[in-house]
Amino acid sequence: MFIGLIFIFQVALIFQGFDLSDEGFLSTFYRRFYSNPNSVSYNFMFWLTGVIGGAWSKLVSPLGLLGIRLGGAIVNTLTVILTFQFLKKYLKPDNLKLGLLLVILSLNNDIKVLNYNTLSSLFYILTIVFLFLGLLQNHLYKLFLAGLFGGLNIFIRTPNVLELGLVLAMLYHNHLTKQPFKKVFSQIFPFLAGYLAAIGLVMTSMYLMGHLPIFLDSMKILYAMGKGQGVNTETQGGYGISRLLYLFRSNTIVSIKYASIVLAGVFGILYLNEKFKTRSKPERLLSQATVFLIYGMILALIITHRVDHFTVLFTITGLSLLTAVFIMFSDVDGEIKLLFFLGFFFLLSFPLGSSDGIYTAGRYCLWIALPMTIDYLLKWKSFHFTVSILGDTFAFSRKIWLANHVGSVKKWLVFMLVFSGFYFSYFYPFFDRRNRVQMHYALQSDNLKGIYTTKGRAEVFNELLRESKKYIKENEYVIAYDDMAMYYYATNTIPQLSNPLPAVYSTSQFQLDLNSIFTKSQKLPPVVRQKIATIGDASKWPEEISPGNYFTIERNLDKNEILDSFLLRYRYKEVWANRVFMILLPDRLDRQADSLIKNDK
């Protein structure tokens, strides 16, 4: 019943919310993966995601985007089942279910489609399960399978190469069990063999499918995006080593800070209850009123979005990190310590390879750490601290017990986490941050049937779809710039650039890609361009449009100048526009324009 409700809850949310960027990036990748791989060559750094997503997209093609979102719900549910079966021996069933529910609630603020993050989580859990069982049972074939799934995970999402660091878990297990050191080498060998076998299997498959050169080109792009030294997204494409390490450090500090504030609040409430439990009735009532006032203020902050889903994400991440530290230095069973180590490693390593750290990847690595943290916290019965001060001529020592109302505070903490999870699932369909009551307007594309959004968003996008048919045909090459990859999927058009989402390109990569467009098509492509910001804080468009000129904001300025130069050179003219989008076509392909194209080629 629990698994069924988890699945139904996710499916209930896939019908609402419409995002132009990330979901379009992946959906276009899946559609073109098998039929026209060169048109999405940038995405081939997620090659195995394309294999799975492309096959699933074909299987559910009558459902369009709704079917790809259904795939996301299925993968998440499979991960719930696997994690539940894995942890049920070590955690109280109710605590485990609560922890998994909180993981699902955190995921429902993100994109719904089957994607490389949800697939990575599933493969990461498979790796951890076989690694854990292989170490405990000394089954070398399970260690081989752990390495195999770990190696495959690299091709789902390239930063998963950090999963190789799970060798540290093998060393930690050897430390816990005090086994001869040579035994750990006999366990590392099959793990690494499985890892290498997965790489060989994938590379051979790529070669047989004709995908190997495309994949290697995508790796060159990733390398170029990651070789910068600064922390500026634009100069490195978001993947510079310095930037990633900076994000890792700053995200970890923020997580621990938020978690410390929550724990300080919990201890403060407990101390308040303990201090006033033997006082007069008016004083006890005042104490209780103060506690309920604190709870009410937190709820008000959530309802007014002063505390948002990112705040909650950082808080539960910090709580998990602090709990892992407590466990490592506590007198608990070695298997529990090993589990926490695995969850701790997953929690830290997964966001490290993401361009925005915890913001984009943090919710996908909670599968083990969060249920174990919830179980650990809910088993607390009392707290006590000893305060000691020693001086030359004096000594002070006092033991402070915080035992009263522990159960009540735990219930309130759980309530806040669950309430915020459901609340933000309702108000935050990724980059369509609106009240779901307003989302009952359909989109006029066969590929988007069953997806509903707000009236304003449906109107402006449907208008773009209707006007596009006058100028652009299906399976025609198009440049959709810059955060609107969903246009390709909605219209069955083909990306002229190698990356359907040029917003994530560094300036140099965008220039290089634009210079080579005639290697794909003999014609100048139509250009569809957005006029406003549509992601992040601008996610309430078009009812609420971010102030300022989108064409001149610093984040886009260099790439905009490159595109504008291209449009000017080939004499593009605006043939249609509304308040959000515009369509531009070359004035005419006369002999002079034909000559320019030939020279560029």
| φ, ψ dihedrals at 92, nearest 5° | -65, 135
Token pair 């994109």 in the structure block, residue: 111
pLDDT score of 74 = 97
Q: What percent of the chain has pLDDT over 70?
A: 92
Cα(252)–Cα(230) distance, integer angstroms: 19
- Which amino acid, one-letter code, is at 218? S
pLDDT score of 238 = 58
481 pLDDT more than 90: yes
Instruction: Please report which helix (H) or strand (E) contains residue 330, including its range.
Output: none
- Nearest residue to 370 via CA among 339, 349, 335: 339
- How does strand 494-495 pair with strand 572-577? unpaired
- Bridge partners of 415, per DSSP, are none
Cα(165)–Cα(499) distance, integer angstroms: 30
- Please write down the HEC assignment for all residues of 12-41: HCCCECCCCCHHHHHHHHHHHHCCCHHHHH
User: How does the average pLDDT of the chain come out, rounded?
Assistant: 88
Under 8 Å between Cβ of 193 and 147? yes
- Bridge partners of 390, per DSSP, are 395
Token pair 């955190």 in the structure block, residue: 106
Under 8 Å between Cβ of 60 and 71? yes
User: Is residue 136 very low, low, confident or very high in pLDDT (cuts 50, 70, 90)?
Assistant: very high
Cα(337)–Cα(359) distance, integer angstroms: 27
- Bridge partners of 495, per DSSP, are 478
pLDDT score of 600 = 52
Chain-centroid distance of CA 436 in Å reads 22
Under 8 Å between Cβ of 422 and 414? no
75 pLDDT more than 90: yes
pLDDT score of 553 = 83
235 pLDDT more than 50: no
Under 8 Å between Cβ of 483 and 534? yes
pLDDT score of 194 = 97
Instruction: Please report which helix (H) or strand (E) contains residue 574, including its range.
Output: strand 572-577
597 pLDDT more than 70: no
Q: Out of 64-73, 221-230, 257-266, 291-300, which region has the weakest mean confidence (pLDDT)?
A: 221-230
Q: Out of 149-163, 217-231, 325-339, 484-498, which region has the weakest mean confidence (pLDDT)?
A: 217-231
232 pLDDT more than 60: no
- Nearest residue to 352 via CA among 255, 437, 217, 241: 241
Would the CA dihedral through 223, 224, 228, 232 be positive or negative? Answer: negative
In the three-class reduction of DSSP (H, G, I as helix; E, B as strand; rest coil), residue 546 is classed as: coil
Cα(55)–Cα(198) distance, integer angstroms: 20
Q: Which is more confidently placed, 590 or 314?
A: 314
- Write the CB contacts of 470 (distance below 8 Å, at least 6 apart in sequence): 576
295 pLDDT more than 70: yes
Q: Out of 22-26, 509-513, 538-542, which region has the weakest mean confidence (pLDDT)?
A: 509-513
pLDDT score of 110 = 87
User: Is residue 400 very low, low, confident or very high in pLDDT (cuts 50, 70, 90)?
Assistant: low
372 pLDDT more than 80: yes
Under 8 Å between Cβ of 502 and 562? no
**pLDDT tens by residue, 520-538:** 777 899 999 999 999 988 9
3 pLDDT more than 90: yes
Q: Out of 13-22, 47-56, 224-233, 372-381, which region has the weakest mean confidence (pLDDT)?
A: 224-233
97 pLDDT more than 60: yes
Token pair 């490290």 in the structure block, residue: 352
Q: Which is more confidently placed, 151 or 516?
A: 151
pLDDT score of 229 = 44
Name the H helices within 227-280: 233-236, 241-276
- Write the CB contacts of 302 (distance below 8 Å, at least 6 apart in sequence): 416, 419, 420, 423
502 pLDDT more than 50: yes
Most confident of 229-238, 386-395, 420-429: 420-429
- Nearest residue to 9 via CA among 138, 102, 85, 86: 102
- Write the CB contacts of 435 (distance below 8 Å, at least 6 apart in sequence): 426, 427
The DSSP letter of residue 583 is E
Instruction: Please report which helix (H) or strand (E) contains residue 196, including its range.
Output: helix 181-209
pLDDT score of 501 = 93
* Angle of CA points 42, 45, 47, to nearest 5°: 110
Token pair 């549910």 in the structure block, residue: 77
- Nearest residue to 462 via CA among 18, 100, 27: 18
596 pLDDT more than 70: no
Q: Report long-range pairs for 81-87 (Cβ below 8 Å, ≥24 apart).
A: 81/3, 82/122, 82/125, 82/126, 82/129, 83/125, 83/367, 83/368, 83/371, 84/2, 84/3, 86/125, 86/128, 86/129, 86/132, 87/339, 87/368, 87/371, 87/372
Q: Which is more confidently placed, 331 or 471?
A: 471
Q: Which is more confidently placed, 345 or 222?
A: 345
The DSSP letter of residue 177 is H
Q: What is the mean pLDDT of residues 415-425?
A: 91
Token pair 């699945």 in the structure block, residue: 7
- Number of residues in the chain: 601
598 pLDDT more than 70: no
Q: What is the mean pLDDT of residues 533-552?
A: 90
